[in-house]
Amino acid sequence: MTTETPTSPPLLRLTDISMSFGSTQVLTDVSLEVRRGEVLCLLGDNGAGKSTLIKIMSGVYQPKSGKIEVEGRPVTFTSPRDSARYGLATVHQFGGTFPLMTIGRSFFVGAEPEKGFWPLKRFDRKFANEVAVREMRQLGITRVTDGDRLVGGLSGGERQALAIGRAVYFGASILVLDEPTAALGVKEAAHVLRIVMAARKKGIAVVFITHQVTHALTVGDHFAVLIRGAKAADFRKGEKSREEITDLMAGGEAMAELEAELDAYENAHEGHAPQIA
Amino acid sequence: MTSQDERGARGRDGAIAVKPSAPPRFDVGGLIRRPETGALIGTVGVLVFFSIVGGRTFLSSAGVSSWLNVAAELGIIALPVGLLMIAGELDLSVGSVLAASSMTTSIVSGNWGMPVFVGILSGLALGLLVGAANGLVVTRTRVPSFVVTLATNFSVAGITLALAIALTGSTSSSLSAGEPAKTLLGSLIGGQFEVAVIWWALAVAVVGWLLHVSKYGNWIFAIGGDLESARTMGIPINGVKIALYMSSALGAALVGVIQAILYNGAQVAAGQAFVFNSIIAVVIGGVLLTGGYGSVVGIVMGTLTFAIVNQGIYFSGWDANLASLILGLMLLAAVLMNNTFRRMALSYSPKSKPVEQGRR
């Protein structure tokens, strides 16, 4: 785009994205942008529209209106492969890998390296294993040295590293991480956050989707909060405190109301908090 | 790469410097990780057992040929059925495909007197056709393959019976194949070993190459491991599945043709035993019923185990009906053992232990 600021256009920009399924409005005029070497944290409670937005970015859904630009060029993603062609890679919560395949094999699924001549072309296991281990090592996973190990034997963080390493190796410049820390323990989550930092350092634009404010604050440069399908806030690192963000995510007043309700309940029940299912 | 993160990881682990040097290529972990380890134990076990119980005749060439012939016919079907299972699908239609192809070859070249190669090609083509139909229905409708291929098994059996009666007025047909068909498909080497043993060996080489050496094996494992991920990673899922159904039906058709030529004829009711026997062989061989895990060596071992038990019983002097009992128990034991080995394979990480201790 020629009307841009002197700096280069953002790697990925969504403008006024709206989406509905039947009569249900899921996203309303959501605009986001993320630059090279930057982590954009997309925060939102369950049902805020995060998953729909991810699916739009990864080409699973086409938005009803709005536009998507990659490096300033307008694009439409008609399939996941389409979105991958523009350098977007989506990594899901469990890494989207194959538990009973070896690390090297699963790293190259669908893009197998081959050696030899047709019709006797062979899967290049040695190369695959070396690359997979090397890419994981570059993301700080030093515990994995054998590409013949099964993916299912890796920890949650290591699987994320495998998936992220794969995306980076195959030229992803924009990583969409869907709740990468949600299913992990504290230590593993810290590991994944380190991997995110490592990816950022490589100049990759990261869209980090989460509902864990602490994790977001640790790695984020830029934050956007989704509430009921609309962007409720957009701010940079250091502009808002943890409490403010949590309040925002829960819908501001709603949180205050809930707290008042809880207080009232506790008073009425001799200090016992209500039971949470 | 000397990023801060990596140095951090190294610093914390600390133990990287003290970890043992690379272990030899063939370590315990490598063995445990293999899907066929359990199957290998099973095969050696039954072989030793029946060698003792069955006496010297069991290991004579007559004895070996009795179970190797059974293994060869079953193996030609079990290999592609195993591939399908690794890709997460079942094929219960191999029984009727075998009978239909066998009858086709016999009717075309026997009753109608056409050249035998026309009969053979018709039989094999029929198999490919049924396989393609199975694959198309499974991939298009997403009805579980168990149901689709069970329906095919019944439908094809029905068509075969009806057509056989309509065309020949009988449920069987006779065929006397000339040379070279007889030598290539239906002869006994040394008067004992079916030529099918060689076809089986060829199939092992081809399927082994496909699954473990070529990139297509990676596709099959990925499809059985996680269908949706495989799809997003660009693997032509439907094409692979249709090709696999065609190959399992082709395997069944080949055995049907071999039987027609070897036994000089065909019957409409032949082959139904292969439906479950092939699944038993594959599962004993360490293939995961739900897909994503298995090996060709394992399938071969499972096939041999099945054949040894099935035939060994006749050498033991016991009631032959006990063979089914033994096979049933073995199937259960094999699944339990394979589950254990798979769990060990998942948790086994040869080099992590010293590092983890270093962390504490």
Reported as a single tens digit per residue, the pLDDT across B325-334 is 888 888 898 8
Looking at residue A12, its pLDDT comes to 92
Beta bridge partners of A259: none
Tell me the C-alpha distance between B140 and B249, whole Å.
18
Higher pLDDT among residues B78 and A111, named by residue: B78
Q: Give B71's contacts (C-beta < 8 A, 6+ positions apart).
A: B200, B303, B304, B306, B307, B308
| Chain B residue at shortest CA distance from A170 | B233
Reported as a single tens digit per residue, the pLDDT across B91-142 is 999 999 999 999 999 999 988 988 989 999 999 999 999 999 999 999 999 8
The structure tokens listed for B139 are: 């991939």
In a domain, B205, yes or no: yes
**Spatial contact of B296 and B303, defined as CB atoms under 8 Å apart:** no
ipTM for the predicted complex comes to 0.76
Q: Using a CB–CB cutoff of 8 Å, tell me whether B341 touches chain A.
A: no
Q: Using a CB–CB cutoff of 8 Å, tell me whether B226 touches chain A.
A: yes
Which of A235, A239, A195 lies closest to A215, judged by CA?
A: A195
DSSP state of A48: S
In a domain, B138, yes or no: yes
- SS3 (DSSP) at B96: helix
**Spatial contact of B67 and B46, defined as CB atoms under 8 Å apart:** no
pLDDT band at residue B356 under the 50/70/90 scheme: very low
HSE, side-chain direction, 13 A CA sphere, residue A257? 5
Under an 8 A CB cutoff, do B346 and A139 touch? no
Tell me the C-alpha distance between B217 and B223, whole Å.
10
| Chain A residue at shortest CA distance from B236 | A110
**Spatial contact of B105 and B330, defined as CB atoms under 8 Å apart:** no
Which of B310, B343, B338 lies closest to B40, judged by CA?
A: B338
Under an 8 A CB cutoff, do B218 and A112 touch? yes
In a domain, B65, yes or no: yes
In a domain, B338, yes or no: yes
Which domain does B178 fall in, by range?
Answer: 34-345
Phi/psi for B252 (5° steps) reads -65, -40
Pairing of strands A24-34, A12-21: antiparallel
Under an 8 A CB cutoff, do A100 and B288 touch? yes
The list of chain A residues with pLDDT below 50 reads 1-6
In a domain, B332, yes or no: yes
Return the CATH number at B87.
1.10.3470
DSSP state of B212: I
Beta bridge partners of A162: none
List the single best residue of A77, A98, A150 to mutate versus B (max B Cβ within 10 A).
A98
In a domain, B359, yes or no: no
Q: Using a CB–CB cutoff of 8 Å, tell me whether B9 touches chain A.
A: yes
For residue A195, give Cα distances in angstroms to A93, A140, A222, B146.
14, 7, 18, 43
* Structural domains counted in chain B: 1
Within 8 A of B290 by CB-CB distance, chain A residues are: none
Please state, as a whole number, how many other Cβ atoms lie within 10 Å of the Cβ of residue A272: 9
Within 8 A of B233 by CB-CB distance, chain A residues are: 109-111
Compute the average pLDDT of residues B78-85.
Answer: 96
Which of A53, A44, A150 lies closest to A162, judged by CA?
A: A150
Which H or E run contains A250? Answer: helix A242-250
Reported as a single tens digit per residue, the pLDDT across A81-114 is 788 888 898 887 766 678 889 999 999 988 889 9
DSSP state of A121: -
Under an 8 A CB cutoff, do B292 and A101 touch? yes
In a domain, B176, yes or no: yes
Tell me the C-alpha distance between A250 and A232, whole Å.
11
Rounded to the nearest 10 degrees, how much is the dihedral formed by the CA atoms of B197, B199, B205, B207? -110
Q: What is the DSSP string of B236-289?
A: -HHHHHHHHHHHHHHHHHHHHHHHHHHTTEEETTTTTHHHHHHHHHHHHTT--T
In a domain, B18, yes or no: no
Length of chain B: 360
Nearest CA-CA distance, residue A123 and chain B, Å: 5
B positions 229-258 inside 8 Å of A (CB)? 229-230, 232-235
Q: Give A85's contacts (C-beta < 8 A, 6+ positions apart).
A: none
Interface list for chain A against chain B, based on CB atoms closer than 8 Å: 80-81, 96-101, 105-106, 108-112, 114, 121-123, 137-143, 145-146, 148-150, 152-153, 194-195, 197-198, 201
Reported as a single tens digit per residue, the pLDDT across B218-237 is 999 999 998 888 887 888 99
Which of B97, B123, B271, B276 lies closest to B185, judged by CA?
A: B123
The structure tokens listed for B335 are: 């699944």
